[in-house]
Structure 1
Amino acid sequence: MPKAIYRPEHDVFLAILKARRIDSGITQADCSHALGRPQSFMSDVERGIRRLDIIQIRDLCKVLGCGLVDVIKEFEEELNKTGF
């Protein structure tokens, strides 16, 4: 089994995170700053270079004003639509 970052499901997850960030009106730089990370952090996350653990995903959800469970539900729904 390939590493998660090389699986198509990872692309789906990243697209959800990026859409949530854009919908919230927060720039990558502002998001990174709110997380106490360098400006490049969110760029690296959204390009799939940097992986997030569950705690970091939860922190990101708080910054974006959404719930972790809601993001996971959306992820599952998108996977089901695409046949994963």
Structure 2
Amino acid sequence: MVKTLGTERHKALIALLVEKREAAGLTQTELAAKLGEYQSFVARLESGQRRVDVVEFLELAELLNFDPAKAIRQIVGSRN
């Protein structure tokens, strides 16, 4: 399997997550608190240093109030 960090899809995912966090009016620190993590956890996600697994993605979608299926379609569509 190809490494995913730094790919166009990974960059699109990160951009989407940052956009959704900002739209929710949350700082990295506030989102981290909701996740039960440190701010550095969110910073690593948003800087592309860490992958987001499916379970984390679903939790982020719930906390940031977005439709995860629609977001995936948007990411896949951005590649075409």
Q: Which has the higher contact order (CA 8 A, sep 6+)?
A: 2
- Kindly state the Cα deviation for residue 6 of structure 1 after the two structures are TM-superposed: 2.9
Q: Distance in 1 between matches of 2:53 and 2:4?
A: 12
Q: Which amino acid aligns with 1:68?
A: P
**Structure 2 unmatched runs, 5+:** none
Q: Which amino acid aligns with 2:29?
A: A
Q: Which amino acid aligns with 1:69?
A: A
Q: In structure 2, what is the equivalent of residue 49 of structure 1?
A: 49
Q: In structure 1, what is the equivalent of residue 39 of structure 2?
A: 39
**Structure 1 unmatched runs, 5+:** none
Task: Establish whether residue 4 from structure 1 lines up as the match of residue 24 from structure 2.
Answer: no
Task: Establish whether residue 16 from structure 1 lines up as the match of residue 16 from structure 2.
Answer: yes
Contact 2:31 2:42 in 1 (8 A): yes
List per-residue Cα deviations over 1:25-60 (Å, max 9, x = no partner): 111111111011111111110001111110000001
Q: In structure 2, what is the equivalent of residue 69 of structure 1?
A: 69
Q: TM-score, normalised by structure 2?
A: 0.89
* Count of residues paired in the alignment: 80
Q: TM-score, normalised by structure 1?
A: 0.85
> Considering only aligned residues, what root-mean-square deviation do their CA atoms show, in Å?
1.3
